[in-house]
A and B are shown apart, each in its own frame.
Chain A
Amino acid sequence: MAGGFLYQSQGRTELNEKLGNPDTRGLGLKHAGRNVWILGLTSLLTDASSEMVAAILPLYALYFLHASPAMFGVVDGLQQGGASLVKLAAGWFTDRSQRHKSVAAAGYLASAVSKFGLLVAAGGASALTALVVLDRLGKGIRTAPRDAIISLSVPRGALASAFGIHRALDTTGAMLGPLLAFLVLRWIADGYDVVFAISLALALVGVAALVLFVDTSVIGAAAPADQLAPGSRWWSPRFVMIAVLAGAFGLTTISDAFIYLSLQRKLGFDHTYLPLLFVATPAVYLTLAIPVGRIADRVGRTSVIVGGYAALLLLYVILASSASSLAVIAMCVFLLGSFYAMTDGVFAALASSELPPERRATGLALVSTCNDVGRLVSSVFFGWMWSRSSPDAAARAFIPLMVVTLALATVVIWRFRTNAR
């Protein structure tokens, strides 16, 4: 098979393109790149739309609706599990129907409808909960078909770059959302409904961009040679390994919220600065996403992913140490942002390169779900450790876990790489 999953040298990529890799045949790069940018724009608008609502929801629920925040905590856990199931189902349905664009559009539309609901439902705590669930449901539906379109719109050698562009735009939206929400509330003191109205408008423009400009005719262009023979399995040993790695790495990942809390407790800084971390980390992520994607396409995606988790390991070491200064916070934020830039989009690129086009959405959903489940288990474990002892001790427990996972991953990757040759 052309184009190694484990190691992708610049020379080999170029050779593939010259020889006419089935994925790239007959496609102009400029033409194919458009889908990536348009989907990036759609994600930017939708994320801005969702995050501006998420940023004010606790205030809105607590002080405007006088609803219990405890209710939302429970919904959160259910949502995470539910969203993963929906993601798998949507991926499977996308491949079965081969209607990537329609499924993705349905997902984005569900989120837009939830914003409309927030605007017209005129309060009510249970209505609010249902609408938040609908928004997350939409996210679950759209992720796999959208990533499949991205991966099928660019040559194999440019997969990580393409995901880098998409994730950079996506993260930009996630940063702009809360900013916009607070500007609105500053302008109109009780303007929660105005936030919902603007959020709805952004979501609608996002859906319109997707429906009008994303061209999925490229997806059917896979050469017959690349299609599955009837009865053959679509999951290669390499793909299974990627899914297992995604799950294993998920288990070693401490959730952001915990990392911020550990930092804050450890360094004892004012709560007022906590939101700054929520802004600084995505800022690092979006700055690095595109260059890191390019590097991953050149030096190999697995190397970059391993590097990303090594950055996370370094962050754990700092958290567990007694170091404490402003420079330490800056370092931690940089490491966390780099970790996201080096793993999130790159993992999708890696998985895409091992999946036949007609099973891509299913496969991408599977890898992402493995990672979600791992992270869910890890956050429950971390929370338990935290309440039993201390944040430092909890972070310390994750260091050996990460070291072992990294070592195993490197060995497995090395074996597959030598086998491939």
Chain B
Amino acid sequence: MAISNKRALIFVAVIVLCTLGVAGYVQWRQRLRTPAAAGATLGLNLDDPAAATRIDQLRAASHVVYLSRRTDSFDQVGLAPAANPEDQQLLAAPACERSYFGRKIGLCLVINRESLSPKAYAVFMNHALKPTRQLPLDGLPIRARVSPDNRWAAATVFVTGESYVGDFTTRTSLFNLEDGSVIDNLETFTTERDGQVIKDVDFNFWGVTFFPSGDRFLATLGTGGKRFLVEGDIARRHLKVVRDDVECPSLSPDGRRIVFKRASTTKGAWRLWVMQLESGEAWPVTGDDRYIDDQAEWLDNDRILYGLLYGEGIPENALSIWVSDVSKESGFDARIFVRSASSPSIVR
């Protein structure tokens, strides 16, 4: 059978149709995504003095900062008064994968996709939310934290390509915000368990949370398929295992409780638990196995905020910040705090 003209013609037609299809699709989706004001990005431009004043006023009182997961403003920073979270202000830039904001300092982890291997950066912002400093990160950003006293910040990344047998490798760096120095990797700290120094090639640290004052923090140590709560002392470059089966802790404002993740039997799903640090007593605060996005945050000493994937579909429809009461008596009460958003931080 020689190639017939008819078949060749059909083939050319398939190529032409596919090309037109792609071109048409790109046209259609670009028109769909462009906001009404053609080409303009949604949100406040901080170079505009009026906008800057507005943000200043908002930041004078207690407020929540989060990342928008709406399709029209994906990854953009949003702010709202803590008492009235639906009264939202969006910033036009930057777009963050993960972020955390203190009163004086903001940390925004961004990915620059301009090169063949996407490069990640930690962008630090001042109290007016203007970028002041940018440092390269060695992987894909997953956690960001700033200490309550605004003296330290932490960032965790997935180190690309270093994962093996279905597991992953993380790297956590600490940033001294006063002198600008960087502790590149928590794995350089000495780790101790029950008085013994322990070390393994598969050590992973992630999810730092700082105590209200001083240079102490809590974090997760993952090794041998298990997760541990470790307490860190920056000055001594020392870590101590304090509890088993605690992942991604977040300290309450009074420093007496943590909310943390505990993996459920469903792969890729967690429940949130709260632990009284002194007694070690812990109880669950979410009722079903779901994907909990990022680290949880405390609205006050009794209520937590967390990103939760509820249902299927794009993040705009499925990912929101929820609020729950953590007292044992409250049961599993949960409601949406900010819709189509995640990665909350509370500035008190």
Contact = CB atoms under 8 A, between A and B. Distances in A.
Contacts of A190: 74
Given A59-B140, A383-B165, A66 B268 contact: no
B291 A387 contact: no
6 contacts: A122-B313, A124-B313, A125-B268, A201-B21, A383-B165, A387-B202
B179 interface: no
Contacts of A64: 74, 315
Contacts of B277: none
A271 B161 contact: yes
Interface string B254-269: 0000000000000111
B10 A212 contact: yes
A232 interface: no
A272 B117 contact: yes
A275 interface: yes
B39 to A, nearest CB: 14
A208 B10 contact: yes
Interface string A171-205: 00000001100100110111001100110011011
B117 A197 contact: no
Nearest to B315: A66
A16 interface: no
B162 interface: yes
B135 interface: no
A383 to B, nearest CB: 4
Given A257-B164, A271-B138, A390 B201 contact: yes
Nearest to B158: A69
Contacts of B291: 66-68, 125
B60 interface: no
Interface of A: 34, 58-59, 62-71, 73-74, 76-77, 122-127, 178-179, 182, 185-186, 188-190, 193-194, 197-198, 201-202, 204-205, 208-209, 212-213, 215, 217, 257-258, 260-261, 264, 271-272, 274-275, 379-380, 383, 386-387, 390
A76 B166 contact: yes
Contacts of B7: 212-213
Nearest to B26: A194
A291 to B, nearest CB: 28
Given A59-B118, A66-B69, A67-B268, 11 more contacts: A66-B315, A68-B267, A77-B166, A179-B116, A205-B14, A257-B161, A271-B159, A271-B161, A275-B161, A386-B201, A387-B202
B18 A201 contact: yes
A70 B267 contact: yes
A212 B3 CA distance: 9
Nearest to B224: A387
Contact of A204 (B18, B26, B159, B313): B18
A147 B301 CA distance: 65
A255 B162 CA distance: 13
A contacts with B: majority SS:
helix
Given A122-B313, A213-B11, A275-B117, A74 B18 contact: no
Nearest to B266: A71
Contacts of B19: 201
A127 B165 contact: no
A123 B117 contact: no
A58 B168 CA distance: 12
A207 B19 CA distance: 15
Contacts of B69: 66
B268 A123 contact: no
Contacts of A186: 113-114
B314 A122 contact: yes
- Classify chain B: how many residues form its interface, as a range: 35 or more
A197 B160 CA distance: 26
Which of A34, A65, A179, A264 is packed against the most chain B CB atoms within 10 Å? Answer: A65
Contacts of A34: 3
Interface string B99-117: 0000000000001011111
B136 to A, nearest CB: 10
B140 A274 contact: no
A73 B166 contact: yes
Contacts of A387: 200-202, 224
B278 to A, nearest CB: 32
B342 interface: yes
Contacts of A275: 116-117, 161
A117 to B, nearest CB: 13
Contact of A68 (B11, B26, B164, B268): B268
A63 B116 contact: no
Interface string B278-317: 0000000000000101000000000000010100111100
B4 to A, nearest CB: 9
B40 interface: no
B198 to A, nearest CB: 15
A74 B116 contact: no
B344 interface: no
B221 to A, nearest CB: 15
Interface in B197-235: 200-202, 224
A179 B117 CA distance: 10
B319 A208 contact: no
Contact of B116 (A127, A182, A390): A182
B11 A209 contact: yes
A383 B165 CA distance: 6
A271 B22 contact: no
Nearest to B160: A271
A380 B165 contact: yes
Contacts of B182: none
Interface in B105-141: 111, 113-119, 138-140
A189 B268 CA distance: 27
Contacts of A65: 314-315
B329 interface: no
B201 A63 contact: no
Interface string B162-180: 1111111000000000000
Contacts of B118: 59
Nearest to B319: A66
A317 B115 CA distance: 34
B25 interface: yes
B25 A194 contact: yes
Interface in B30-58: 30
